[in-house]
Amino acid sequence: MKILIEKGDSEEKITLAEALLANGLVSAIERLTYQSTGVQKSDDEVAKAVRGVERDFSVGRQWAAVYRILVDFCGWEADITKFSKRMNVLLRDEKLDYPCTYQAIQKALAENWILRKEFGQWKEYHAPKGDRVFGRQMGIAQKLLKRLQIGA
C-alpha cells in the first residue's frame, strides 16, 4: 500500500507518512504534483461553464472531473477543501442537484486512482471494459473543457 501526498497536505500528515514508510507499514509515498497550463478564466466564466455541466451530473462524485480540469488548466488550488469552498462561493446563488463537497471529490479520487492524475494521463488511460464511472468523469471533463474553450 502507498500513501498519496498532495500540495497543501499538512506537515503532520507528511511526517506520519514518512514514519509509516520508515517502519515498513507502507510500501511507498507518492507525491502528487500538478502542472497548470495557466489558462486565464474569470470566476464568471468558470461559474457559467460549471453550471452548464453540473446539470449533466448523475452523481455528486462527478465534481472530481470539474476539480481536475480547473486545477490542471486554470490554476485553481489543488487543496480539495479550498477548491470546494471556492466553488461554493462561486455558485452560492445556484440550486444544485449535487453540491460541491470535499467528501464527493475525495471519495471519487480514492475510488479510482486515475482521477488523481493530470488530465493528460486521463486521455491515455484505457478503462477496463464495463467501467462506467471513468467514462462519466471523462464526459464531464470534456464538456467543461469545451464550455471553457480550452483545447486539451
Q: What is the 3-state secondary structure (H, E, C) of the chain?
A: CEEEECCCCCHHHHHHHHHHHHCCCCCEEEECCCCCCCCCCCHHHHHHHHHHHHCCCCCHHHHHHHHHHHHHHHCCCCCHHHHHHHHHHHCCCCCCCCCCCHHHHHHHHHHCHHHHCCHHHHHHCCCCCCCHHHHHHHHHHHHHHHHHCCCC
Cα distance between residue 57 and residue 74, in whole Å: 21
Which pLDDT does position 142 carry in this prediction? 96
Q: Which residues of the chain have pLDDT under 70?
A: 2, 4-9, 30-38, 152
Residue 18 makes CB contacts below 8 A (sequence gap 6+) with 29
- Per the rule left: phi > 0, alpha: psi between -120 and 50, beta: everything else, 32 is beta
pLDDT tens digits for range 83-99: 999 999 999 988 889 99
pTM, 2 dp: 0.74
pLDDT tens digits for range 41-66: 888 999 999 999 999 999 999 999 99
Which pLDDT does position 131 carry in this prediction? 85
